[in-house]
Amino acid sequence: MKQFVVIGLGRFGTSVAQSLIEKGHQVIGIDQDGEVVEGMAEHLTQALELDATDEKALGAAGIEQVDAAIVSMGDNLEASILITLILKEMGIKEIVTKAVSDNHGKVLKRVGATRLVFPERDMGVRIAGFLSEPEVIEHIGLSQEYSIVEIPAPGVFMGKSLKQLNVRADYRINVVAIKRRVPKKDAEGKVEIKEDITVVPAPNEVINKGDVLIVIGTNEDIEKIRKENGK
């Protein structure tokens, strides 16, 4: 279990904080809006009402030992820069800061941000990807060349094992997991359809109708899989 501090409990900051809590981590939330802090108090490990641009107030919050700080003050450029600088001087090693532009990001990097997040830009890219590639369920870009993609198993894959398909050699991608919906009995003996995930499937794993493949590879090679869906 790790400890994080999220500064700025707007939509983005709140989403990050809640996701970290759901993963079992401790989260300190900071915002200068008392109503926001009060509303989040029962959902976080600790919620503090204070002005994070006040170096003394932030220092007194006892956050020096957190594993990482998330600064979600992107709309207030001056505040996000100043807070990032204060966190850097406090010795926090991992500082993730929300940025709204390339120039804003450059300044944040210079004053101590170790990682930048462009929520609006990233979401725009993802939406554009979904619209232009409707057969892709989820797309995570690892770099300009490599991605992890969730994609429905092509029809030509049905009834064949990964070994028979020889995906590594023929498509130069790796299937890292297979998601499928399977019938399972609950505590009362009733049958429900639930999602089952097979991580690092064996070579003899057979692809069934309705399976979703999670693959990793170059964007060029993943495109070959996408084209199979059009056949």
Contact 218, 172 (CB under 8 A): yes
> How does DSSP classify residue 138?
E
Q: Do β-strands 68-71 and 191-199 pair in parallel, antiparallel, or remain unpaired?
A: unpaired
Which pLDDT belongs to residue 141? 58
Q: Where are the alpha helices (DSSP H) in 91-142?
A: 102-111, 119-132
Indicate whether this model's pTM tops 0.75.
no
The residues with which 142 forms a beta bridge, in sequence order, are none
Closest CA to 28 of 15, 46, 11, 40: 46
Which pLDDT belongs to residue 208? 92
Q: Which CATH class is domain 3-122?
A: alpha beta
| Gap between the Cα atoms of 109 and 129, Å rounded | 28
* Fold annotation for 133-228: Alpha-Beta Plaits (3.30.70)
Which pLDDT belongs to residue 139? 56
Contact 17, 1 (CB under 8 A): no
Which pLDDT belongs to residue 124? 54
User: Where along the chain do the CATH 3.40.50.720 domains lie?
Assistant: 3-122
Residues of the chain with pLDDT under 70: 74, 120-144, 228-231
End-to-end CA distance of the chain: 46
